[in-house]
Amino acid sequence: MNFSGPEGVEIAGIRVSDKRLIQIGWILPLVSVVCSMTIHAASGHARDFPFFVSESDYPGLERWFFTIGLAMTSPIICLLSHRVNVRFKTERTAVHEVSFFAGLATSVSLFVLALANMYDQLFLHSLASIGLFVGGFIWGVSTHSIYTSNNLSAQKLRRVGLWSTLVGFLVMNLSLLFYVLVLMLLSEFSTDYSTMEMLNQLQPAINLAAPAEYLLIIGLMITLASIGKDLDQM
């Protein structure tokens, strides 16, 4: 195995280019999430609509798609972080260090998220979600500053992805926070509820927060995909 080749990696005699790794890195989780959410909704397991992506990590076929797909993506993200270091090893700066460790944090958070479902391990799942979204955004911003090719379409696409991620993250969290504060002021919020009961209670906020989460995830996918376009001119 060779993870430090000039333009890609070699695993079990199979060469995989950096561009192909990037494609796998965003297509695999996107397909996994779309499949798990579709199965979750079509099977009648969804408690309401719209629902959070993690709600599709529900006992049944959808959980297999969610868990296996995201768990398999985790080492790919880790490998991509390493590949940035390899490609720019002669011009390393503090930004490269930030990109590397943010990528590692994103990879670890994604793996934990894949295994710790929100129904049984809500606190750990929530921490992993924050690590994934914040780490992914920092990784995207730092990597954006590293890949400075003349591909203007890639740069514009990456800006769209990063802004979508930021807006989605803020809207998702602020809408939930505002609604919880309102419930607390009305003395109607309780932490004694089960996860399902809590989600039902928060559904008015989730009506806005869930689409914002979809925007956030799509933004991260766009950001990663845009780097593949940069590689065409490097």
Tens-binned pLDDT, residue by residue, of the chain (234 aa): 777 777 778 887 888 888 899 999 999 999 999 999 999 999 999 999 999 999 999 999 999 999 999 999 999 999 999 887 777 666 668 888 899 999 999 999 999 999 999 999 999 999 999 999 999 999 999 988 887 666 778 889 999 999 999 999 999 999 999 999 998 888 777 777 889 999 999 999 999 999 999 999 999 999 999 987 776 555
C-alpha angle 96-98-100 in degrees, rounded to nearest 5: 70
Distance from CA of residue 50 to its chain's centroid?
Answer: 18
Flag whether 212 is in a domain: yes
Residue 3 lies in a domain: no
In a domain, 134, yes or no: yes
Task: Give me the pLDDT at residue 228, please.
Answer: 79
In this prediction the pTM is: 0.93
Q: State the total domains in the chain.
A: 1
Sequence length of the chain is 234
Q: Which residues contact 127 (CB under 8 A, 6 or more apart)?
A: 112
Question: Which secondary structure element, helix H or strand E, spans residue 17, and what is its range?
Answer: strand 14-17
Q: Which domain holds residue 171?
A: 8-231
pLDDT at 85: 75
How far from chain centre, in Å, is Cα 182?
29
Q: Is residue 87 in a domain?
A: yes
- 1 falls within a domain: no
Domain assignment of residue 152, yes or no: yes
User: 199, 47 in Cβ contact below 8 A?
Assistant: yes
Q: Is residue 2 part of a domain?
A: no
CA end-to-end span of the chain: 24
Residue 37 lies in a domain: yes
Tokens of 41: 């909704």
Question: In whole angstroms, what is the distance from residue 100 CA to residue 148 CA?
Answer: 17
